[in-house]
A and B are shown apart, each in its own frame.
Chain A
Amino acid sequence: AQSVSQHNHHVILSEAASLELGCNYSYGGTVNLFWYVQYPGQHLQLLLKYFSGDPLVKGIKGFEAEFIKSKFSFNLRKPSVQWSDTAEYFCAVKPPGNEKLTFGTGTRLTIIP
């Protein structure tokens, strides 16, 4: 079975700082990878996803993630964060064609104005 690790539990940054949130997964085969964001009091929304092709994926709101197969990683990045990026970020993985998503424990991001 697949598993996902997000080692950063809480990240605090100042506005305009660069962001990188780690995500590592364990699974022996091909995977689909996702980053979801949950703003305070709201539901999960998809930020970006990777199925195949270019390992550098661009999502909404200036976020991007890079799939590095050799490292089993799918780290989320943003060059310059804003206060409105304060939220919880979840990495998730699933095998293609299988509906069951496995989520990481999430990383809480706090941006200080």
Chain B
Amino acid sequence: DAGVIQSPRHEVTEMGQEVTLRCKPISGHNSLFWYRQTMMRGLELLIYFNNNVPIDDSGMPEDRFSAKMPNASFSTLKIQPSEPRDSAVYFCASILGAGKRTDTQYFGPGTRLTVL
């Protein structure tokens, strides 16, 4: 299994530009999570989906952030417009599904975002 796939691995952009991060969960997993990791705030859950439906987006910092999951094998996290304080590593994770014995989250390699 290829595991959770994220792209790009590194992104450098200028303030005000739109940034789109991509994630492909493990095949067959039906829950997907977006996290942000910074030195100051640690690992924060931004949003998660169950069966492509957003369940909890309370961690999304503000309206500049949006996430979609158009199908079971793809999700995007978009920041528009980006700001320097958005610089962080963004992780995507997936699990098989709620209530199952093997409900362990598997993380992708992350996207390191730098906003200048």
Q: How large is the interface on A (under 10, 10 to 19, 20 to 34, 35 or more residues)?
A: 20 to 34
Asked if A83 CB lies within 8 Å of chain B CBs, one says: no
Q: Is the interface of B mostly helix, strand, loop or mixed?
A: strand
A106 touches B42 (CB 8 A): yes
CB distance from A65 to the nearest CB of B (A): 14
Asked if B98 CB lies within 8 Å of chain A CBs, one says: yes
Asked if A67 CB lies within 8 Å of chain B CBs, one says: no
B91 touches A100 (CB 8 A): no
CB distance from A18 to the nearest CB of B (A): 26
The number of A-B residue pairs with CB atoms under 8 Å apart is 49
Name A36's closest neighbour in chain B (CB-CB).
B107
CA distance A86 to B68 in the complex (A): 36
Q: How large is the interface on B (under 10, 10 to 19, 20 to 34, 35 or more residues)?
A: 20 to 34
Asked if A12 CB lies within 8 Å of chain B CBs, one says: no
B103 touches A99 (CB 8 A): yes
Q: Is the interface of A mostly helix, strand, loop or mixed?
A: loop
* Residues of B close to A97: CB separation below 8 A: 98-99, 103
B98 touches A103 (CB 8 A): no
Asked if A87 CB lies within 8 Å of chain B CBs, one says: no
CA distance A73 to B15 in the complex (A): 43
The verdict on A99 contacting B101 (CB below 8 Å), with A44-B107, A106-B42, A106-B43 known, is no
Q: List which A40-93 residues lie within 8 A (CB) of chain B.
A: 42-46, 49, 51, 90
Asked if B108 CB lies within 8 Å of chain A CBs, one says: yes
CA distance A100 to B50 in the complex (A): 11
CA distance A45 to B105 in the complex (A): 9
29 A–B contacts, CB within 8 A, in A order: A32-B103, A34-B104, A42-B109, A43-B108, A43-B109, A43-B110, A44-B43, A44-B91, A44-B107, A49-B104, A90-B43, A96-B99, A97-B98, A97-B99, A97-B103, A98-B98, A99-B33, A99-B48, A99-B50, A99-B95, A99-B98, A99-B103, A101-B33, A101-B105, A102-B45, A103-B42, A104-B42, A105-B42, A106-B42
* A-B interface, 6 closest residue pairs, ranked by CB to CB distance from nearest: A97-B99, A44-B107, A105-B42, A43-B107, A103-B43, A99-B31
